[in-house]
A and B are shown apart, each in its own frame.
Chain A
Amino acid sequence: MPSYFLYAGCLISSRLPFLEASSRFVLDRMGIDYLSFPRATCCVEPIGLRSLGYDAWLMFVGRMLSIASTERRDVISLCNGCFLSFKEAIHHLERKDVRERINRNLAQIGLEYRGGVEVKHIAEVLKDQGESAINALVKRPLKELRLACHPGCHLVRPSKLLRVESYFSPMLLGKFAEWIGAQVVYNELWPRCCGGGLAGIEDRISEAILRENTELFKASGANCILTPCPFCFLQFDLRQKQGIPVLFLPEMIALAFGASAEQIGLRYHRTKLDF
């Protein structure tokens, strides 16, 4: 079994540490070998920062990839945004001229990217564990949940690169729900954007997109939104008007594995859940 560095990213590690707590709980229970990512920086996230610093993006992801390759570890990402940032950078760094240019920069800090590091979203790591491994650890089937599944853009698109999930009518979140005894009442056909990318920039558009999502969830009779993305999590938890609580994928699995609400910090959700 591969060993990993756990890359929590900026949003989770600084603003939503309770999501890191539930993720670590699940990884520990599953016996996955991981360490915190050493000397990590921001992944130069793909919405804002990369829009200003395309060159910096390749350098900083290249830097972290070379650290991981030196330590011979793959990477687990807890965030759709970081996941895309890493996967796209790996893709671009396959081009010889781009890699040579970035390696000339990395040489200034004594590093070199040679490839060979795999980056996985935590949903992918859990998928690889499979139904029987997850099922065996369930202590408390979550029968009361009627879920609306929201994969988030950067778990599925670009599908040629990410390859975790189908880009049309994705089923993975629904499978996890089934494995831990919950019920799915709504699946997105074309995985939708939560509107988070324009929060603080074009709030009118951001809120309209958010409302479109949550009105569909509400109409389906869902009592909870399930998402593997911390940006979607924040957008739903903080800004939606429909009042549907949201669970981050590792939170749901942790609860099913017997974690208490206190242990994983459910009280820090703005939209409260009954557990």
Chain B
Amino acid sequence: MKKSSYDTALERELHDSLSHINLRKCHQCGHCTGVCPSARYGGIRPREIMERASKGTMDLRLEQDIWKCLMCNSCSERCQVGADPAHVITLLRNAAAIRGNRPPHFEEEMKLFVKTGMSFPRTGLTKKLRSEFSLPELEVDEKVMEELKILLSLSRLGRF
């Protein structure tokens, strides 16, 4: 993919937030993993993610553990030094996604958003239920779709 000035800005933002703000604060105390519901069942271990990310021993094209986070924010709430592991994981996921590493489930959601502006499909049942409860129609109209297209063309999401 061709690099634009925008890509450089995003990469820089990811890099800055990761290396200078969050990763350096981490003391490797492990409170985050202690409170992580995914870690309890063999999923992600936030302390270990913080360690590997700060040492640079993570291949974002192949990394799988970052996708086992539920984004419950327990780790960041617990973190005593404000290293905010959940934010680090979000940024790592973005950096991985840019490199082609994206779970199929999220890829589908992204396609739906690009197509409809929504991340859940509107079905026949949606229409039936909305009219049954006299709820206003919520169609995303042409003007919204036009704005959506323009904003997507300015973001990474529109160019995967």
Contacts and interface: CB of A to CB of B under 8 A. Distances in A.
A21 B144 contact: no
Contact of A51 (B9, B106, B136, B158): B106
Contacts of A157: 72-74, 76-77
Contact of B74 (A20, A105, A193): A193
A36 to B, nearest CB: 5
Interface in A12-57: 13-15, 17-18, 20-21, 24, 36, 39-42, 44-56
A59 B148 contact: no
Contact of B73 (A8, A48, A53, A154): A154
Given A10-B118, A56-B157, A108-B154, A17 B67 contact: no
A56 B156 contact: yes
Nearest to A265: B133
Q: Name the residue among B103, B120, B156 with the largest chain A CB count within 10 angstroms.
A: B120
Interface stretch (A117-125, A134-142, A178-186, A198-206): A198-206
Nearest to B17: A54
Contact of A55 (B144, B150, B155, B160): B155
B119 interface: yes
B30 interface: no
A171 interface: no
A161 B41 CA distance: 29
Given A51-B93, A56-B158, A209-B41, A109 B150 contact: yes
Interface residues of B, number: 63
A17 B130 contact: yes
Q: Name the residue among B42, B107, B119 with the largest chain A CB count within 10 angstroms.
A: B119
B152 A13 contact: no
B29 interface: no
B53 interface: no
A11 B91 CA distance: 25
23 contacts: A8-B138, A10-B120, A14-B118, A41-B148, A42-B119, A45-B119, A48-B106, A49-B110, A52-B97, A54-B10, A54-B14, A55-B10, A56-B155, A59-B155, A105-B151, A108-B150, A154-B73, A167-B77, A198-B70, A202-B68, A204-B41, A209-B41, A212-B37
User: Would you list the 8 A-B pairs with minimal beta carbon distance, nearest first?
Assistant: A197-B70, A53-B157, A157-B73, A193-B72, A21-B133, A51-B93, A56-B155, A56-B157
